Amino acid sequence: METSKVIHAIYTDDDVLMNAVKSVRAEKHHIEEIYTPFPVHGLDKAMGLAPTRLAITAFLYGAVGLAVSIFMMKYIMIEDWPQNIGGKPSFSFIENMPAFVPIMFELTVFFAAHLMVITFYLRSRLWPFKDAENPDPRTTDDHFLMEIAVHNNEEALTKLLKETGAVEVNIIEKEDEH
């Protein structure tokens, strides 16, 4: 494994952090990661992150759930075990569609919700028994941490971060995962 240097800048206010992110990005530095104790609205845009495509996957998972519900009801209620319930014969799917709508809705939501949770955990690389990657335990309480890669510019970057309101700036040797 290779090691590289990163700077950890600690902030105590989310508004100061937002302004610092904008200042660091304006100076053309690459922010590796930001650790926060709660979601900070607009931080993704300030960091220049691409919009998420999770909404597209949610729609696709819902469509899969709808298809599964249609095929399941058609097979169970029309082909495999047709029943005359309350005088309503089960000869066609279309005739019984009003009774099937709640099931189609519920399975659409069920598939979208459960598959989205699984997708989120896999995409975030969160699985059972995974060690925490949080570099500073204070970020789970009341501090914000900005991690920036260092490329022989420690002094200038440290000065910039102090000017943006960082209460603490540390240079850390970090092991690369790749």
Tokens in use for 129?
């028994």
Query: pLDDT tier at 66 (50, 70, 90 boundaries)?
Result: very high
Query: pLDDT tier at 1 (50, 70, 90 boundaries)?
Result: low
98 pLDDT above the threshold of 80: yes
65 pLDDT above the threshold of 90: yes
Task: Give the full edge-to-edge strand order of the sheet including 3-11.
Answer: 31-35, 144-149, 3-11, 168-175
Is the whole-model pTM more than 0.95? Answer: no
Question: Which amino acid appears at position 100 of this protein?
Answer: F
pLDDT tens figures, 3-26: 688 999 999 999 999 999 999 999
Contact (CB, 8 A) for 8 and 127: no
pLDDT tens figures, 135-160: 898 998 999 999 998 888 888 899 99
Higher pLDDT pick, 104 / 89: 104
